[in-house]
Amino acid sequence: MQSQQFADILRSVPLMSPEQVGVLHKTLPPAAHSAKPDAQGESRLLERLKFYFDQHPVCVRCRSTHVNRWGTKDGHQRYCCKDCSKTFNAMSGTPLSHLRVREKLDQYVECMDGETTLRPAARRCGISLDTSFHLRHRLMALVENDSYGQLSGIAEEDETFFHESHKGDRNLLIPRKRGSRGQRKSRYAKAEKKISVPLIPVMVACDRSRHVLDAVLKKVSTKELQSQLEGKILPGSTLCLDAHLAHEHLAEKLSLSSKTLVSTSGERVKEGIYHIQTVNAYHSELKRWINGFFKGVATKYLQRYLGWKRYLKTHMFSIEGFLDQISIHWTSSTHNLN
């Protein structure tokens, strides 16, 4: 909101009737400046989620908007759907349902700055390592599928690869070479052939305005890249690609003009402005963050970390900004309010 509009609202407050002041109080979201949860241990994040959900409650089962209030339980307003008789609250069917450490949630949001690992976050919030893990993944799930606008202007697309990882899997069965039990290795035995680890392709596309798209791919193919990019790049944009076989007809299928750079021939920039250095720099930053700072992540969680990094890259991280993002955008998209 512009400063002049805000000043006009402030000047009009003393002239409001008591009824109008009451309407204004009901319209405003819960206070954002309070650093502590309320007396019942509720967090600012949950209060905002409940506030925005209460404006347009939607049944979590049939998506009907014909719902009634249905009392409260554990401090949560419950609703009942007139069509399917399902009862629910604002957190039902979401990553924040059945959350037991509500009083720690706001404090843990401070650890979602991308610079805090699980153990320091657990110590800071006074929770167990297991709880720290689950809180991180609940919060990552809120922004995992968020998109922040279409790519436009000069867009770049390229793939990078991560080694397949089963980090944290306690039930992983590591195959043992047949007949190796009880055998002593000879001093001069030849070194065993290293087991090749599968590579997981990750697509990243970005433009010069800090908009980022990403996805974990099954394989690098024109069809899969098209499915990930279709409708996400504004018409009239130029797509910069390297000379990969899967990129040969990609821009044509997306109805975009393209610039192909043959890096093997030393071609780095075309016409002074077309290159894929921005997306390659993002690849390097992403790998340092995942492989270096976090010492790798399990492949099954890779998409969540991509979404978290995308949020940190697209936004200047702040506690209030993170709360607003997952309160307004995620609630509306989850319950089909757009």
- Does one domain contain both 218 and 294? yes
In 10 A of CB 50, how many CB atoms? Answer: 19
- Does one domain contain both 159 and 288? yes
* pLDDT > 90 fraction of the chain, expressed in percent and rounded: 53
> Of 52-61, 72-81, 185-194, 291-300, which has the strongest mean pLDDT?
291-300
- Does one domain contain both 245 and 113? no
Give the tokens for residue 89.
């609250």
pLDDT of res. 316: 79
Domain hosting 141: range is 41-146+319-334
pLDDT of res. 193: 52
pLDDT classification of 49: cutoffs 50, 70, 90: confident
In 10 A of CB 211, how many CB atoms? Answer: 21
Inside any domain, residue 52:
yes
Mean pLDDT value across the chain: 83
> Of 18-22, 47-51, 112-116, which has the strongest mean pLDDT?
112-116
Inside any domain, residue 16:
no
Tens digit of each residue's pLDDT (9 = 90 or more) over 160-208:
999 999 998 888 766 555 555 555 555 444 544 556 889 999 999 999 9
Return the CATH number at 250. Answer: 3.30.420.10
Whole-number CA gyration radius for the chain: 25
For 81-96, what is the mean pLDDT? 89
Report the number of distinct structural domains present in the chain. Answer: 2
| Least confident interval from 35-44, 107-116, 304-313 | 35-44
Inside any domain, residue 89:
yes
pLDDT of res. 302: 97
* DSSP H helical ranges for 83-187: 105-109, 118-125, 129-143
- Does one domain contain both 138 and 226? no
For 284-307, what is the mean pLDDT? 96
Give the tokens for residue 285.
């930053």
Inside any domain, residue 251:
yes
- Does one domain contain both 164 and 284? yes
- Does one domain contain both 163 and 296? yes
Do residues 206 and 306 lie in contact, with contact meaning Cβ atoms separated by under 8 Å? no
Inside any domain, residue 9:
no
- Does one domain contain both 243 and 329? no
- Does one domain contain both 133 and 160? no
Tens digit of each residue's pLDDT (9 = 90 or more) over 304-332:
999 999 999 988 788 888 887 777 665 55
- Does one domain contain both 210 and 130? no
Inside any domain, residue 243:
yes
Task: Please name which of 154, 272, 261 lies closest in space to residue 210, comparing C-alpha atoms.
Answer: 154
Q: Which residue has the higher pLDDT, 296 or 99?
A: 296
For 14-23, what is the mean pLDDT? 59
DSSP codes, 25-91: HHHSPSPSS--S--TT---HHHHHHHHHHHHS---TTT--S-EEEEEEETTEEEEEETTT--EE-TT
pLDDT of res. 148: 75
Task: Please name which of 112, 171, 168 lies closest in space to residue 301, comparing C-alpha atoms.
Answer: 168
